[in-house]
Chain A
Amino acid sequence: MLNQWFLIGALALVTYLSRVIGLEFMSRWKMNPTLRLYFNYVPIAIIAALLVKQIVLPFHGGLTLSIPVLLSCIGTAVMILLTKRFLPSVIVGVVIGVLFRYFFS
């Protein structure tokens, strides 16, 4: 619990600093366009990495593919491409994974 409050405080601080530093100081510099692009690609890389870490899990020193998680992701991806709606897509993805678990494992 104390750890959670510490994390919240630290996250709040680093996030606010990134906002206020950009606003107050970075505006005076002409930022390199390459650096701009780099900053924009970072979230894509992190989200993709987190996704893979959830689909492929460590297992007895090796790696194992979680089929329900994979199906859940594919279902969500297809749904959001078709409907462009976040929450229904997530729910459909979860339901697909749950159904697979229920019937096949």
Chain B
Amino acid sequence: MTNEQNPQIESGSQYDVLTDGVFLEDVRRQMLKFATMQLGDSHQAEDAVQEALIGALKNAASFGGRAALKTWIFAILKNKIADTLRQKQRSVNVSSLQRDGDEDEDFSELFDSKGFWQPEERPVAWGNPEASLREGQFWIVFEACLEGLPPKQARVFMMREFIELDADEICAEVNLTTSNLHVLLHRSRLRLRECIENKWYLEGEKNVELS
């Protein structure tokens, strides 16, 4: 790589992220995906990612390595997204709130008429969830499960668990009542839990049962 005396990088011995195209492209792609999911608009997502990256890379030289830098970049992106959401809220975007007719689902596949677990849907113990976090394959399943959520559920779930906004902030930004938000989060957790259990924790055992 040609890093010919970039004046911004004084401490020449340090890892220089600006020359690491693979890392940057990778992070950018992830940021974009994340931002698009949150904002529901690819242009606004591009803008947020762009600004966050520029902001973060100005200080890149002061970070020791990729992991720390990446955490920092995502922290900035989260703030950018929160800002954008707040502005959006002011210019009330009604259509995006109404597209979710698909969310009037019933959960009769999960619960019987009295509200108890259907026998085959009752949650099973997950063994060692911490170990899953170290398996690359697990994250593919996890991501697929997230993407399988209905859009509005996915959005509030991500706001709550990724961006770590609190309930009041989410209600204000997405224009929901508190009880609506609780319903959406409850549904998203039921679904996500079921998906992870079926696609990951039961996969291994399934082969045994089928034989």
Whether A associates with B in a native complex is no
Q: Which residue numbers of B lie inside 8 Å of A, CB to CB?
A: none
